[in-house]
Amino acid sequence: MYHNNPGTAPTAETLMRSRYTAFAIGDFDYIAATQKIKEAPEQSATDIQDSNEHTKWIKLEITETEEGLEKDKTGVVAFSAHFKEGKHIGRLSERSIFKKTKGQWFYISGEHDVQKNTPLINSEEMKTGRNDPCLCGSGKKFKKCCAVT
């Protein structure tokens, strides 16, 4: 829904969830369109894809939100995102800062910590069907939430 129309996420948390799903399904154009990172050169979709080439995102947990509602101009979303890289699993914990500019929420910056764990044994590839729960953790079906239609 939001991936077809960048700029329509009504809250910072909704944008965070849709960006996570975009990372998980490889929609790097959406990631590039929804960020304005402070003190960093603009990243193209190709740059973002290259830096995530070996990462498979598994699960998102929102741990805290501050402001970031429809009426707000700024917001903070803290989360943990579980991932797999090769035969290893890990967790990215981040406190992300969002800013609303001309009615559109953007990811601005974040403080993060990455923990990589022990190797996985006999792990299977994650596959998301349209009727599976959405990767963003909203509780909705993928087809009714972040799926690209």
Neighbouring C-beta atoms of residue 72, cutoff 10 Å: 15
Structure token pair of residue 62: 């929102």
pTM: 0.73
Given a cut of 60, whether residue 148 has pLDDT beyond it is: no
Residue 148 lies in a domain: no
**104 pLDDT exceeds 80?**
yes
Give the SS3 label for residue 49. Answer: helix
| Residue at 133 is within a domain | no
pLDDT digits (tens, 9 = 90+) for 47-79: 777 777 889 898 999 999 999 999 999 999 999
Q: Is 113 a domain residue?
A: yes
Question: Of 107, 31, 120, 116, which Cα lies nearest the Cα of 76?
Answer: 107
Residue 135 is assigned to a structural domain of this protein? no
Do the domain assignments include residue 6?
no
pLDDT value of position 35: 92
Local confidence band at 121 (pLDDT 50, 70, 90 cut-offs) = very low
Retrieve residue 38's tokens.
Answer: 């402070």
pLDDT in tens, 6-45: 678 999 999 999 999 999 999 999 999 999 987 666 677 7
- Residue 139: pLDDT over 70: yes
Q: Which of 79, 74, 85 is nearest to 108 (CA)?
A: 74
- Residue 50's domain spans which residues? 12-120
Count of domains forming the chain: 1
> Within a domain: residue 34?
yes
Range in 68-72, 82-86, 122-126 the model is least confident about: 122-126
CATH number of the domain within which 68 lies: 3.10.450.50
- Please report the pLDDT score of residue 45 as a whole number: 76
Structure tokens given for 72? 């707000």
Which residues on neighbouring strands pair with residue 66, listed in sequence order?
A: 76
Is 35 among the domain residues? yes
Instruction: With respect to residue 138, please indicate whether it lies within any of the assigned structural domains.
Output: no
Cα–Cα distance for residue pair 129/140, rounded to 1 Å: 13
The answer to whether the beta carbons of residues 145 and 34 sit under 8 Å apart is no
- pLDDT computed for residue 40 by the predictor: 61
Q: Which pLDDT does position 143 carry in this prediction?
A: 75
